[in-house]
Structure 1
Amino acid sequence: MVEQVLRSLQPYFERIPSVERPKTHVPFKSKFSWTVGILILYFILSGIPVFGLSPDSIDIFEHYRAFFAGASGSILTLGIGPIVTASIILQLLVGAGIIKLDLTNPDDRATYQDFQRFLVFVMIAVEAIPQIVGGLLKPNLDIANALGVSPGVISFLIFLQLFIGGVLIVYMDEVVSKWGIGSGVSLFILAGISQSIIIGLFNWISPAGEMPPGIIPRWVWIAQNIPADQLLTLSGISYLLINGGILALITTIIIIFLVVFAEGTRVEIPLAHQMVRGARGRFPIKLVYTSVLPMIFVRALQANIVVMGMVLYNNGITFLGEYVGGTPINGLMYLLSPVRGPQNWIPSLVKQNPYFADLPDWFILLHLVIDATILIVGGILFAMFWAQTSGMDAKTVANQIARSGMQIPGFRKSPQILERFLNRYIPKVTILGGALIGLLTLIANMLGTIGNVSGTGLLLAVSIAYRLYEDLAKEQMTEMHPMLRRFLGEE
């Protein structure tokens, strides 16, 4: 029933402007230029502040900036949140069978994609309006008085700017996906996380007498202000590891190597061309088959739940938990919030924060257990959904290989036979990869990371950088060997 409604509305969805796909092969230099140009535009837009926004406003996505991209207080405040949220909603509806679409069917896939584009624009408004109406993004009263208008007019201008910023992100993503290299969403995430890591390493700006936020300036400050004999005690070593950022640095380095190792671990299916003797290739099935994209969906869903609790709290509904700033301090919302370092799950460190001083130890450890469950189970479920909805399932891959004229040596050229062979690997690797990424994210979150980018953000940055390197290599290969483009479905 629902899918029939979507098909009837598809002519209207198709009228939504979109970036046209290139009709011929785009040279590597052009793709690289488009990618770099959009990246520069992203940094420019993230530096444009929202006119009329009060300094007292609360950024509810502050702790999720690593994978929502954008910049607090800029016209890109919403970042990629609407795109990710719309994708989550559709994946859940299709995965649960509420919307019955066969995504291996070109017509159904077109319906899915057109409706997703429409839903993204809806989510831009849905994510902006509650923040404004709920009093999180406040109008600047001084500007309202200076212009002689009501605060409501300034609030509308704030919404308009956020909506324009959200729309720009959508089209910038489309430009990179169709005319550039890789994905715009991934590019924006990598840019934001890389910037946070660099700032987390070298930022020396701090109030007088306080320890700098950057790890390297922090070591200099510790050496100048704390005696060496005090640092050599057990408490001093603990101080260096946690407050000095050494644990975060070690964790960051180890996670980078583990993600690179996981990305490079694969099962390679040998392929041979049925018409061209000697033309051989391999289809790689990676251990992290769906990359770390499931973690974006898991954290985005978690973020939207916590944000909904905050909006309710600001409107006097407190039974789900209370908030200080953008952080839940008790109740269900506290249990559902992500762990972001040792100070969030080690009871003695948690209770150093006066807002958490009365929390029982079992409640703090339950918070860790729930976050671990969300990451690992959510990673598996969203990995399975993503493989089905993005054309990475065994059936779609088998059809793609068959259309390219390739086959597995020793097997008949039949999509059904290829599908059965691939089903030996793809479902198992999808589940294992989703669980592994969830576990790595949990470990990184528990121990902390450079620049407080979170375990999710760090995994995303490393995985995206690795995939971007592979995409660059693939683009150069297809430039030199045009026949590869047919196999990759680019012609």
Structure 2
Amino acid sequence: MSLKDSLEPIFNKLPAVASPEGHVHFKNKLMWTLGILVLYFALANVPLFGLSADSIDLFESYRAFFAGASGSLMLLGIGPIVTASIVLQLLVGADVIKLDMSNPSDQAFFQGAQKFMVFVMIVLEALPQIAGGYIQPDQALAATLGVGTGVITFIIFIQICIGGTLVLFMDEVVSKWGIGSGVGLFIVAGVSQQIVTGLFNWTSDSSGLPTGFFPKWLYIVQNVEADFLFSGDGIMFMLVSGGILALVSTIVIFLLVVYVESTRIEIPLAHSAVRGARGKFPVKLIYASVLPMILVRALQANIQMVGLLLSGKGITFLGEFSGSKPINGLMYYLAPIHSPYDWIPSLVRETFTSYGAPVPAMWQIGLHVLVDAFFLIVGGIVFALFWIETTGMGAKPTAKKIFNSGMQIPGFRRNVGSIEKVMLRYIPKVTVIGGAFIGVLTLVASLLGTLGGAGGTGLLLTVSIVYRLYEDIASEQMMEMHPMVRSFFGQE
């Protein structure tokens, strides 16, 4: 018996959200999506019972695309789902696990394996944070209840596991009963909240300036001399501390992503049985979407977590940390760029001085930027290729989908092989170009920073996901009005 045959019965017994038996009306899909969104916000505001205020969030710098909220039931966010996807895509892509993703049976096995891996990752991401002392129990509460801190720690662990499981099933509800995906929805919710906060928050930061862009400029106009603002230091102050660079970056990235999302190659199609019935199959420049960027950043986040846990145990050969920020060694170079404070020399000096750590040399800062560029561009290409193969977007599954819908490419024989050959001319090349392009765009956004500290990756993901959500809603409305269109998308 093969490994697949041995594991399949186990995966089939895993709890799952029931799939709809027929077509789910658009209004119902919208209600399910909005309901899950409200539930997400509610759970993100439920604090973990027994958690000490001294606890450190290892994924604080990655909140924009890991979703969730520090110190809440949503502590892990979508981290376990994304990490499980990375592991499986690498195993399938490297042929360690041999699966034909165009085979429905293998697709079902992959989905079962991914769900099982998510449960494993929930435990593997929670336990090291507890064992490393980053998630700490409230000793005063333990004394009040008359129990040991170990009991409180166990209660916190159970809550984190419950939160991680809820995220998994909420994602499944949205995927089966709603519009888009839960992972995308949670990212949009978290980043949107950060951007709104970055515009209107009146709370002061460590420099004494209000955090929000508009309150900040009201303060600057009233309290800062014009002579200083138009000096060399003043211009740098307005660009970085004043948030102008972040505002411009946010607007430019928004416009660029919308433009790129609408850039596509359209392959003409004609119905084999209905004369005059024609259509087009769009191959977008960002064919694999920007979701592979989550996988790249999640890979970096998990590498950083390993370094942080080792550093906490006094093992510093990979680098030392100040809080959750690497300050030297290999971990410094492997850390993602989040804002101008990570690469502009004067700002890097200011940041490292506040940590009481030696300031990196110019060549070290440059190497840090180059390593992050390599991660984003090469990682974007690799994960984009894995993504289309494991999600049924490759040339072969796409050709089968077109063939089964009764469509064909004019001028070619009506068989799967002919359609596949045409798809092979476009899909792999566009996937590579799109993966590299989105990596460059993420790097630029990360270098310039964004409003609310959402980060280049978070902003990029949000704009792209919202654009695709808009397209999904338009598609759902079209299928509602024209039921025959559903057959092309494989829906009943």
Q: What's 2:359 paired with?
A: 358
Q: Secondary structure at the match of 1:283?
A: strand
Could you tell me which amino acid in structure 2 is paired with residue 103 of structure 1? M
Q: What's 2:258 paired with?
A: 260
Matched, 1:161 2:156: no
State the alpha-carbon separation in 1 of the partners of residues 117 and 279 from structure 2. Answer: 39
Q: What's 1:384 paired with?
A: 385
Q: Is the 8 A contact 1:393 1:426 kept in 2?
A: yes
Q: Is the 8 A contact 1:251 1:447 kept in 2?
A: yes
The one of 203, 206, 225 aligned to 1:205: 203
Q: Deviations over 1:256-279 (max 9, x none)?
A: 111011100000111111111222
Structure 2 residue runs of 5 or longer lacking an equivalent are none
Q: What's 1:30 paired with?
A: 28
Evaluate the alpha carbon distance shift between residue 215 and residue 357 of structure 1 in structure 2; reply closer, same or farther with a 3 A threshold: farther
The one of 278, 283, 297 aligned to 2:295: 297
Q: Give 1:68-467 correspondences, 5 Å limit.
A: 68-206=66-204, 210-353=208-351, 354=353, 355=355, 356-467=357-468
Quick check: 52-61 or 277-286, which moved more?
277-286
Q: Is the 8 A contact 1:7 1:111 kept in 2?
A: no
Q: Deviations over 1:233-263 (max 9, x none)?
A: 1221111011100011001100111101110
Q: Is the 8 A contact 2:205 2:211 kept in 1?
A: no
Could you tell me which amino acid in structure 1 is paired with residue 226 of structure 2? A
Q: Give 1:50-61 correspondences, 5 Å limit.
A: 50-61=48-59
Q: Secondary structure at the match of 2:299?
A: helix
Q: Is the 8 A contact 2:292 2:387 kept in 1?
A: yes
State the alpha-carbon separation in 1 of the partners of residues 207 and 334 from structure 2. Answer: 36
Could you tell me which amino acid in structure 2 is paired with residue 452 of structure 1? G
Q: Is the 8 A contact 2:348 2:359 kept in 1?
A: no
Deviation at 1:358, TM superposition (A): 3.1
Could you tell me which amino acid in structure 2 is paired with residue 156 of structure 1? F
Q: Is the 8 A contact 1:139 1:151 kept in 2?
A: yes
Q: Deviations over 1:311-349 (max 9, x none)?
A: 111111111111111111111111100111111112222
State the alpha-carbon separation in 1 of the partners of residues 491 and 379 from structure 2. Answer: 32
Deviation at 1:208, TM superposition (A): 9.8
State the alpha-carbon separation in 1 of the partners of residues 75 and 205 from structure 2. Answer: 26
Could you tell me which amino acid in structure 2 is paired with residue 281 of structure 1? G
State the alpha-carbon separation in 2 of the partners of residues 210 and 286 from structure 1. Answer: 45
Deviation at 1:357, TM superposition (A): 4.1
Deviation at 1:281, TM superposition (A): 1.2
State the alpha-carbon separation in 2 of the partners of residues 74 and 278 from structure 1. Answer: 57
Evaluate the alpha carbon distance shift between residue 75 and residue 345 of structure 1 in structure 2; reply closer, same or farther with a 3 A threshold: same
Q: Deviations over 1:367-409 (max 9, x none)?
A: 1110011000000000000011101100000000000100111
Q: What's 1:19 paired with?
A: 17
Deviation at 1:207, TM superposition (A): 6.5
State the alpha-carbon separation in 1 of the partners of residues 19 and 181 from structure 2. Answer: 14
Q: Secondary structure at the match of 2:168?
A: helix
State the alpha-carbon separation in 2 of the partners of residues 277 and 208 from structure 1. Answer: 69
Deviation at 1:459, TM superposition (A): 0.4
| TM-score between both structures, scaled by the size of structure 2 | 0.98
Question: Percent same amino acid among aligned pairs?
Answer: 61
Could you tell me which amino acid in structure 2 is paired with residue 57 of structure 1? S
Deviation at 1:458, TM superposition (A): 0.5
Deviation at 1:7, TM superposition (A): 2.5
Structure 1 residue runs of 5 or longer lacking an equivalent are none
State the alpha-carbon separation in 2 of the partners of residues 12 and 341 from structure 1. Answer: 45
State the alpha-carbon separation in 1 of the partners of residues 22 and 462 from structure 2. Answer: 31
Q: Is the 8 A contact 1:6 1:115 kept in 2?
A: no
Q: Give 1:460-475 correspondences, 5 Å limit.
A: 460-475=461-476
Q: CA-atom RMSD, angstroms?
A: 1.1
Q: Secondary structure at the match of 1:425?
A: helix
State the alpha-carbon separation in 2 of the partners of residues 358 and 481 from structure 1. Answer: 63
Q: Is the 8 A contact 2:191 2:454 kept in 1?
A: yes
Q: Deviations over 1:128-168 (max 9, x none)?
A: 01000110000010011111111111110000000000000
State the alpha-carbon separation in 2 of the partners of residues 471 and 76 from structure 1. Answer: 26
Q: Is the 8 A contact 2:446 2:456 kept in 1?
A: yes
Deviation at 1:111, TM superposition (A): 1.1
Evaluate the alpha carbon distance shift between residue 28 and residue 144 of structure 1 in structure 2; reply closer, same or farther with a 3 A threshold: same
Query: How many residues end up aligned between the 2 structures?
Result: 489
Could you tell me which amino acid in structure 1 is paired with residue 382 of structure 2? L
| TM-score between both structures, scaled by the size of structure 1 | 0.98
